[in-house]
Structure 1
Amino acid sequence: MEKKPFVTKEQLEKIVEKYPTPFHLYDEKGIRQTARDLYKAFSWNEGFKEYFAVKATPTPAILKILKEEGCGTDCSSLTELMMSDRCGFADGNSIMFSSNETPAEEFILAKKLGAIINLDDITHIDFLKDACGIPERICCRYNPGGYFSLGTDIMDNPGDAKYGMTKPQIFEAFKRLKREGVKEFGIHSFLASNTVSNEYYPALAAILFNLAVELKENLGVHIGFINLSGGVGIPYTPDKEPNDIFAIGEGVRKAYEEILVPAGMGDVKIFTELGRFMLAPHGHLVVKAIHEKHTYKEYIGVDACAANLMRPAMYGAYHHITVMGKENEPCDHTYDVVGSLCENNDKFAIDRKLPKIDMGDLLVLHDTGAHGFAMGYNYNGRLKSAEILLQEDGSTRMIRRAETPEDYFATIEGFDF
């Protein structure tokens, strides 16, 4: 799959005149289209709802776009709950709270906002009860253990993950919660990350649908919804084809009709909490080449660093790079594209084949719309960059300004800066 920026060089040059690099740029048109495709793919399920994973892109302007497209939010912290509330999601059906090792104050706020609380562990039942009481609608997170594989390169080890309950635990949890007055139950699970396979969601759905039938038949509980969580990924590298959300939706539908409908559970709602799939392709980190170095390797230094995009430094993640205006030139130079941190892993690309890069060239790092800005930090005193929205009409607006040194110093006590 050829990776093309969602802006042209001419567009970007005009944007850079207004907003200095580096900055994260988001494509409103693409975001809306992905949300609409997701809802169309699951339109067979009357109660379907996407709860966008706020941790992926905690930006109010983005959340409001998704709200307009019918999405809710999936939160995992106090501030994500607060952001969802301030963006208008606290209507009793639009917030999912999936957390672990959760402070009491976070459960209290989640319940106050009418969020669906997703319990990560059986011990959290008493903790929640003591903190604020058990709501009548609740969800439990399931971990089947062992290894999960689709017979391809998609494999993960749920048994080594800190999330979720074992099967005996979730049965016991549902028994106890039923005694506590719960009227509606949900099941949630997450088995693999960033799968580029149309088979992942249908396979996960079958596991959860069978579990739901067992729980209903053995405990007499009402399963109102099943949350397939995230895990549907994107092709970061150009050699892979993107997921087909319509094929995925059809695969889940088949499992639903084979497992749930015969069990008299054709009213179960399907929820998702996608982050990467919804936003990653619709974000670019835009940087400028400002230095070149010729030593044992060829280096291109840009005006961003791992503080702007942590994924390559953190776990060697690949982000495709386009040198704007040179898309059709031969990739006959081999570069390490690096940032300014005093860490040798501050590299956006290693031994990457690219066209010749000249100082002042604009570079686009693809697929940064999720887990890009969100994972920023301030090591070396580096400051988070601005976020810019490319609107549907082609205009741009700043949706988060860049940090300033005064922001960096603002939390320091005892010194006059």
Structure 2
Amino acid sequence: MDHFQYCDGQLYCEKIPVAELAAKYGTPLFIYSEATLLHHLKEIQSAFAAVNPVICYSVKSNGNLSIAKLMVDHGAGCDVTSGGELYRALKAGTPGNRIVFAGVGKSDDEMRMALEAGVLLFDVESEAELHVLGEVAKSIGKVAPVALRVNPALPPKTHVKTDTSVKGTKFGFDIDTVLEVAQGVVGHPGLSVVGLHMHLGSPILSSQPYSEGSAKAIVLIDALRKQGHPIEYLNMGGGFGIHYRKQEALPAKAFADVILPAVHQTGCRLVLEPGRFIVGNAGVLISRVVFTKESGGKRFIIQDAGMNDLIRPTLYDSFHRIWPVQPQAGLPTPPIDFESEIPDTFAQDVVGPVCESGDFLAKDRRLPLLKRGDLICTFSAGAYGMSMASNYNARVRAAEVLVTGDTARLIRRRETFDDLIAPEVDCLS
């Protein structure tokens, strides 16, 4: 579900015409719908309500302070993967005991920061990390609450760069060796192994991996308890897929149906780390056509959003629906199938201004003829858009706007050239 709809020939976010926002705030522009954000959070809360889960919004998907605060204000915690994300979560008002800290390469300083903040769990991913965390915790008189992240060695489920539970990835303990490692820290004065963590990758469009992962989690939790570890938490991560092309994603209830039996059987408190599911379809990227051209038998739409704004198509060959903000009369608004032979459209590459051949938002996409100044919308850009944005080619990062009904507010101003050089200017000799 989202609240981006066409009405009277133009795209609206909730009750505001997108063209008005682009005129006021400029382009490229990320626009988010509060109603969509809250709808998807509530969908997860409702689907898993029977076990009162700890839902920790994944800050890496979109770390804007206003969005994180909205999540926290409506009952969520935060999942973080760095000291910077932890800082964001705390600034957004997240209590430490509603934060889980994941990531394969936590520094000693990040560990200390998280211990001082009183995080709920450290998702620990290697034996070396486990022992260093224990020593850091001891050095400041703390005991680190640990969830061992296990790689369940499941078959491939998604893109190779986002599949985290196949053999040979950097994530998690091997399922064949985790119990041996856990045995070695029974009674450790700086560690308390209180959870099992199993993140399977993203975006996942089937409940089967969660069913298989949960079954393995039941066996491991029983074995860890027999070793003497007081396992209280089962963290099944996030990764629930969303609609990028059509209506391909499952509702949260489909995942709850296969995860909840394991929660009931183990008696654990469930932790979830959703990000994309909440924010992915709650945001769009609006850009303006700069030029159009033909070259080598191909048509190009050159617009002002680049791979530095939304790198997913370049990085993962990801598909995002793209359509004009104000399509010509007679065109569908929008088409049901963006990959079909849409009348009055032509195969075109949607490219940006960055000096790389890989700078594109879509290739050979059926779109109508567009002219300089037209606005286009790239849908499903709320997750891993702004959070992965960069200043490559010394491009300033986009502004972000949050819409609530018939009001809109700026939640991140557009960067300036002075912002680009601020960390360097005082270092000039």
Same fold (TM > 0.5): yes
Look up the match of 2:183. Answer: 175
In structure 1, the residue matched to 2:283 is: 283
Letter in 2 for 1:389: L
Point out the more displaced range, 228-237 or 132-141.
132-141
* Shift in Å, 1:178: 2.9
Conserved 8 A contact 1:111-1:117: no
Partner residue, 1:306: 307
Q: CA deviation at 1:255?
A: 4.0
Kept in 2: contact 1:147–1:156 (CA 8 A): no
Q: Report if the CA contact (8 A) 2:57-2:274 is conserved.
A: yes
One-letter code aligned to 1:9: L
- Are 2:244 and 2:320, in contact at CA under 8 Å, matched by a contact in 1? yes
Give the drift of 1:414.
6.0
- Of 104, 111, 114, the match for 1:107: 111
How far the C-alpha of 1:92 sits from its partner, in A, is 3.7
1:92/1:114 contact within 8 Å kept: yes
Partner of 1:70: 75
**One-letter identity of the residue aligned with 2:172:** G
- Change in Cα spacing, 1:409 to 1:149, as seen in structure 2 (3 Å) is closer
1:183 CA drift (Å)? 5.0
Matched, 1:241 2:239: no
Q: Structure 1 residues 155 and 100 mapped into 2: Cα distance closer, same or farther (>3 Å)?
A: closer
Give yes or no for the alignment of 1:39 onto 2:45: yes
In 2, the alpha carbon distance for the partners of 1:74 and 1:105 equals 18
Contact 2:4 2:11 in 1 (8 A): no
Task: Give the counterpart of 1:80 among 85, 89, 107.
Answer: 85
CA contact (8 A) 2:80 2:102 kept: yes
Query: What is the deviation of 1:350?
Result: 0.6
1:203 to 198, 201, 212: 212
Question: What SS is found at the alignment partner of 2:270?
Answer: strand
Q: Which moved more, 1:269-278 or 1:328-337?
A: 328-337
Whichever residue aligns with residue 378 of structure 2, its letter is: L
String of CA shifts for 1:115-163, please: whole Å, max 9, x gaps. 121111112222112223262532111113363569xxx9876212101
Residue 354 (structure 2) pairs with residue 341 (structure 1): yes
Cα offset for 1:35? 0.5
Question: Structure 1: which amino acid aligns with 2:4?
Answer: P
- When residues 77 and 192 of structure 1 are mapped into structure 2, their CA distance, relative to the original with a 3 A threshold, is closer
Question: The residue matched to 1:30 in structure 2 has which SS?
Answer: helix
Structure 2: gaps spanning 5 or more residues: 334-342
Aligned-residue offset at 1:69? 1.7
- The DSSP-based 3-state class of the residue aligned with 1:142 is strand
Aligned-residue offset at 1:199:
2.9
Give 5+ residue unaligned stretches, structure 1. Answer: none
Residue matched to 2:236: 228
What TM-score do you get using the length of structure 2 for normalisation?
0.87
Q: SS of the counterpart of 2:30?
A: strand
- Identity, in percent, stands at 27
How many corresponding residue pairs?
A: 401
User: In 2, distance between residues paired with 1:222 and 1:159?
Assistant: 28
Give runs of aligned pairs for residues 379-390 of structure 1, distance below 5 A.
379-390=392-403
Determine if the alignment matches structure 1 residue 160 to structure 2 residue 168. yes
- RMSD of aligned Cα (Å): 2.4
CA contact (8 A) 1:57 1:374 kept: yes
Pairing 1:26–2:32 present: yes
Distance (Å, rounded) in 1 between the aligned partners of 2:348 and 2:406: 33
Query: Aligned residue for 2:336?
Result: none
